[in-house]
Structure formats: C-alpha cells, structure tokens
Structure 1
Amino acid sequence: MNRLILAAEVVERGATRYTPAGLPALDLMLKHQSQVTEDGQPRQIAMQLKAVAIGEITRPVAALALGTPAQFAGFLTASRNGKGLVFHVTELDT
C-alpha cells in the first residue's frame, strides 16, 4: 500500500495550472518538523517535500494560508524526470 499521512505546513505554492485533461493542479512545497524516537533515542526531524494537489482538492489547499499547520494524506510517486519523489495530496484535514 502506498499511503502517506503527514503533518506539515505549506511553505511555497505555485499558481493554479491545468492538466492536459483539464483538471486544476497546484504545486506545493510542504515543510515538516517533529521529534521521533529511533532505537530508543530522540531524533529531530526536519524536511521539505515536493507535493501536488490535482482536482477538487486544489480548492481547500489553495485556501490554506502559508505556514498554517494541517494534515495532508495521499500517495508518493516518482517525479516526472524520475529524480526524487512527489507527494500527491488527496485529502486535507486542517
């Protein structure tokens, strides 16, 4: 199963564009910071992840103010050029 749920904030948002099928698409950069336990030791996590919202989900994602914490759910896939991953956001919980 390929499912990711991530607590993050939008730190960059592109302009709404449209796919060849005519669906709205929104490119994002999400930022996550937290502390986890790994092998009994605390570890600070800080990362940024490329993301995209396609279809109806673009409306609520576009309405989020930059820096607002939210929970994003979706799936990971390879980027178009095959270098790196892109998180496709399919659900949003604010």
Structure 2
Amino acid sequence: MFNQLTLSAEVGEAADIRYTPAGIPILMMKLTHQSQQQEMDILRQVTCEIDAKITGDMALKWQNSVGQVVEVQGFLAKRSLKNNQLVLHIQHIEMKKG
C-alpha cells in the first residue's frame, strides 16, 4: 500500500516545540493551501488547511516558519488511537522559491 502526499502550502500556525518522553522534539503546524485544479474539464478553486507534524532535528529548524511558503512530502496518519482526524507527518520540507 502507498501513502505519500506532496503539497505546496503556507505555514499558517506553528505551535511551541514539545518533547516526547525520549527527548525527541515535535512541532505541530497548520498548513494552508490554495490553488486551481482541473476536475472533469472544469477549473476549480481549491483551498484547504491541514494539520502537520515534524519530528526530530527538522522540527527545531522549522519552529519559526509561520508565513513561509513550503513544499512538503510525507504520509497521512490518524492523530491518535482514539482520534481519527488526519495529520500529515512531514518527512521532507523545503522553502518554495517565488
């Protein structure tokens, strides 16, 4: 099975870094996406907001990223065992030029 998402978005919010009991840094953020997409020969305005999570050293690097336009790649997973809300677990992030 395949679970991979690539998205260009603006970092709308970024929470304070928190740490797991093992000392691993975690950064939660909201990504805001706006684009036009072709669907059945109709141009459609698309806007969405998605919760995202970065772990490890990458979280420390991106903690002050609010307002930056980024391209992210990662996978979707449930927020927790009891919460079915999806969260994008970012595996790669880079600032988008332009």
TM-score computed with the length of structure 1 as normaliser = 0.91
1:14–1:27 Cα contact (<8 Å) kept: yes
2:14–2:64 Cα contact (<8 Å) kept: no
2:26–2:56 Cα contact (<8 Å) kept: yes
3-state DSSP of counterpart to 1:47: strand
Matched AA of 1:35: Q
Aligned to 2:14: 13
Aligned to 2:79: 79
Deviations 1:5-38 (A, max 9, x none): 1100111111000012210000101100000000
1:4–1:73 Cα contact (<8 Å) kept: yes
TM-score computed with the length of structure 2 as normaliser = 0.88
2:17–2:60 Cα contact (<8 Å) kept: no
Structure 1: tracts of 5 or more residues without a match:
none
Aligned to 1:26: 27
Aligned to 2:69: 69
Aligned to 2:91: 90
Q: Distance in 2 between matches of 1:82 and 1:39?
A: 34
Q: Which runs of 4+ in 1 moved over 6 A?
A: none
3-state DSSP of counterpart to 1:62: coil
The structure with more helix, counted as a fraction of residues: 1
Equivalent pairs counted in the alignment come to 93
Structure 2: tracts of 5 or more residues without a match:
none
Q: What is the RMSD of the two structures over their aligned residues, measured on CA atoms? A: 1.1
